[in-house]
Amino acid sequence: MRIGIACPYTWDVPGGVQVHVRDLAETLIAAGHEVSVITPVDDERTLPPYAVDAGRALPVRYNGSVARLLMGPVSAARVRRWLREHDFDVLHVHEPSAPSVSLLACMLADGPIVATFHTANPRSRFLTAAQGALQPSFEKLRARIAVSEAARRTLVEHLGADAILIPNGVAVDDFAGATPLPGYADGRPTVVFLGRIDEPRKGLDVLLAAMLQLATTVGDARLLVAGPGDTAGLRARLDPRLRERVDLIGLVSDADKPRVFASGQVYCAPNTGQESFGIVLLEAMAAGTPVVASDLDAFRRVLDDGRAGRLFEVGDPGRLAEVLAEVLGDPGGTGPGSTAERVRHAHTVARSYDWPTIAERIVGVYRMVSGDGRVSVASN
Amino acid sequence: MVVVALVVAIATYLTWLALRLDRLAARVAAARGGLVTQLVARAQAAGVLAERAALSDLADSVARVRAIHPVLLAGGPLDRGVELAENALSRSLRSGEVAAAGQRFPAELHSVDSEAARVALARQFHNDAVRDLRALAGRRLVRVLHLAGRRPTPGYFEIDDALPARGDLPGLAS
């Protein structure tokens, strides 16, 4: 099929939606489809051959993160030209509620349009206020997909529309069999954290507090923190007792991500809320690293109620330290309830989210909505 | 001058509303077509299973929906009678007899289940489109000015299309 995908956020700024769009596009291309992506981008040279530049986006605070958005006559002209030049069988817009390229594409196109909703935000003032303005564009959507139950609920509550659930995919094979980063192959008990360090809801503070307590039970335990943010500022305010135990390596490339997981004996997701989907958990599970995560709905679901990883009470550093100590001190059995058994089950779960499987379900949706005619430029 | 601008603005707005109604009607028609295609595909797959496994109850339900499918394909309404017949097929597909037959004919049963899952999707796409159209067509301005023209308001299509639990579909680990 000829598939057009619109990505609302700046391509060369790391983010879940961008990664989703890239992996989906590449999986579809590998399956023999013709795919073109349109996206805002800062440095056009970072675009892969299948992507088209929609212009530069402005940073705006949205839903607790910084989103970079784009609406304007120049981008509109580029989107219109992109639609005209490609003659798509289906247009797939991501997060069309953000004022950016996806919404533009939705406004400008006619025909089979599919939307994927990523955000879970039960009290979005923006969505509530914008509902009336979005409706004319949203009523063109032939099918709505939500990547998580929480994202689906957000959609139902704010826009009164249902969506089918197709979760995020994981490139399982990219994560298996990686070698640890230099300096982490020595077997010293290592906890891995991956995510923005200055976003409170990612929960790094909970994990740092737990590390202080863990130091008393697992003497040589260390923490590897990978993710963007103000590393110098964090290092300065770190408890002196943690200085030798916490390594801040900043943003890692996608290519190094599997190596980050391979560098730890346990991956920890201490998030305190608003997490729509545990994509990083699935990556750790695909890598074969034991997972310890806060007991949020999304995480509980991905971890199969604790059978594929350990859960601890949200925001409780004491409990987290205990669970980490148990996993790090695992005696090495393979029976029921053992870490090895959980890791094995985690890999099976991760497999069911493998990108080719997920992309096939998305193509099924494309086929169902694209029976009659192509995507064209709307007449209004 | 002001009056002219006002008239132009109102006319533009009304034209835009009419355009939206047209577009929604086209979306409902496309969704309806997809739904009918999918109902036919489910009946086809169920017919194959009924024949191979010699299931007479299932064969009866299939015959009943097959009798009405030509009418649907010719544009007939998705009314109560259709809902009842498709519901009867859904029920037959959930019977123990069918589950047992699946042991001997796993490929046939899998094909029935995939088509049935797509019926559920097609029905959701149809009802979403109907809901959006009804929301706009129900606005007072649209009703008073008859902007929707003579088109009848489409109805929702309600059948029980829940799938029997036969193990999880890939990626549905939720």
Cβ neighbours of B16 in A, within 8 Å: 380
> Which of B35, B114, B121, B134 is the best residue to mutate to test the A interface, defined by the most A CB atoms within 10 Å of its own CB?
B121
> Strand, coil or helix: what is A2?
strand
What does the block give as tokens for B58?
């299932």
Q: How confident is the model at residue B165 (pLDDT cuts 50, 70, 90)?
A: low
Q: What pLDDT does residue B174 have?
A: 32
Q: What pLDDT does residue B62 have?
A: 95
**Nearest CA among B114, B95, B115 for reference residue B55:** B95
Contact A101, A70 (CB under 8 A): yes
In chain B, DSSP finds a helix count (H) and a strand count (E) of: 6, 0
Cβ neighbours of A366 in B, within 8 Å: none
Check residue A339 and report its DSSP letter.
H
Judged by a CB distance cut-off of 8 A, whether residue B34 touches chain A is yes
Q: What is the model's pTM?
A: 0.80
Annotate A83-105 with DSSP letters as a single string.
HHHH--SEEEEESTTSTTHHHHH
State whether B23 and A110 contact (CB < 8 Å). yes
Residue B172 pLDDT more than 60?
no
State whether A149 and B174 contact (CB < 8 Å). yes
Mean of the per-residue pLDDT values of chain B: 87
Contact A300, A278 (CB under 8 A): no
A2-169+355-373: CATH topology is Rossmann fold (3.40.50)
Cβ neighbours of A161 in B, within 8 Å: 128, 131-132
State whether A165 and B37 contact (CB < 8 Å). no
Q: What pLDDT does residue A156 have?
A: 85
Q: In whole angstroms, what is the distance from residue A175 CA to residue A346 CA? A: 13
Residues B115, B118, B122: CA angle, nearest 5 degrees: 135
Judged by a CB distance cut-off of 8 A, whether residue B36 touches chain A is no
Cβ neighbours of B122 in A, within 8 Å: 368
Contact A113, A130 (CB under 8 A): no
Q: What pLDDT does residue A312 have?
A: 95
Picking from A97-101, A202-206, A260-264, A294-298, which range would have the lowest pLDDT averaged per residue?
A: A97-101
List beta partners, residue A114: A92, A143
Q: What pLDDT does residue B173 have?
A: 34
Q: What pLDDT does residue A162 have?
A: 84
Q: How confident is the model at residue A61 (pLDDT cuts 50, 70, 90)?
A: low
Q: What pLDDT does residue A72 have?
A: 77
Q: In whole angstroms, what is the distance from residue B102 CA to residue A6 CA? A: 42
pLDDT (tens digit, 9 = 90+) per residue, A103-141? 999 999 999 999 999 987 766 666 667 777 788 888 899
Contact A17, A37 (CB under 8 A): no
A2-169+355-373 and A173-351, same CATH topology: yes
Cβ neighbours of A302 in B, within 8 Å: 173
For residues A212-234, average pLDDT: 91
Spatial CB neighbours of A262, under 8 Å, sequence gap ≥ 6 = A178, A179, A180, A181, A184, A287, A289
Judged by a CB distance cut-off of 8 A, whether residue B74 touches chain A is no
What does the block give as tokens for A210?
């737990």
Contact A197, A231 (CB under 8 A): yes
Site of tokens 């997701």: A269
Architecture of domain A173-351: 3-Layer(aba) Sandwich (3.40)
Residue-range domain boundaries for chain B: 20-144
- For this complex, say whether ipTM is above 0.90: no
Contact A82, A377 (CB under 8 A): no
Residue A85 pLDDT more than 70?
yes
Judged by a CB distance cut-off of 8 A, whether residue A309 touches chain B is no
Q: How confident is the model at residue B168 (pLDDT cuts 50, 70, 90)?
A: very low
Q: Which of B24, B37, B174 sits opposite A139 (nearest CB)?
A: B24
Q: In whole angstroms, how large is the CA radius of gyration of chain A?
A: 21
β strands within A48-152, DSSP E: 51-53, 58-62, 65-69, 90-94, 109-110, 113-117, 141-146
Percent of chain A with pLDDT over 70: 94
Q: What pLDDT does residue A125 have?
A: 66
For residues B139-156, average pLDDT: 80
Residue-range domain boundaries for chain A: 2-169+355-373, 173-351
Q: What pLDDT does residue B169 have?
A: 37
Q: Which of A164, A304, A358 sits opposite B124 (nearest CB)?
A: A164
Q: What pLDDT does residue A141 have?
A: 93
For residues A211-224, average pLDDT: 91
* Edge-to-edge strand list for the sheet holding A310-312: A246-250, A222-226, A190-194, A266-269, A291-294, A310-312
* β-bridge pairing A65-69 and A58-62: antiparallel
**Nearest CA among A303, A328, A337 for reference residue A211:** A328
Check residue A380 and report its DSSP letter.
-
> To the nearest whole angstrom, how far is the Cα of B114 from the nearest Cα of chain A?
11
pLDDT (tens digit, 9 = 90+) per residue, B52-102? 999 999 999 999 999 999 999 998 889 999 999 999 999 999 888 888 888
Contact A282, A299 (CB under 8 A): no
Check residue A199 and report its DSSP letter.
-
- Amino acid, res. A375: V
pLDDT (tens digit, 9 = 90+) per residue, A138-157? 889 999 999 988 888 888 88
Residue A378 CB: number of other CB atoms within 10 A? 17
- Amino acid, res. B47: G
Q: How confident is the model at residue A30 (pLDDT cuts 50, 70, 90)?
A: very high
Whole-angstrom CA distances from B43 to A364, B62, B111, B112 are 19, 6, 11, 8
For residues A17-37, average pLDDT: 95
Judged by a CB distance cut-off of 8 A, whether residue A352 touches chain B is yes
- Amino acid, res. A282: L
Task: Tell me whether residue A60 is exposed, middle or buried, using C-beta atoms within 10 angstroms of its C-beta: 0 to 12, 13 to 18, 19 or more.
Answer: middle
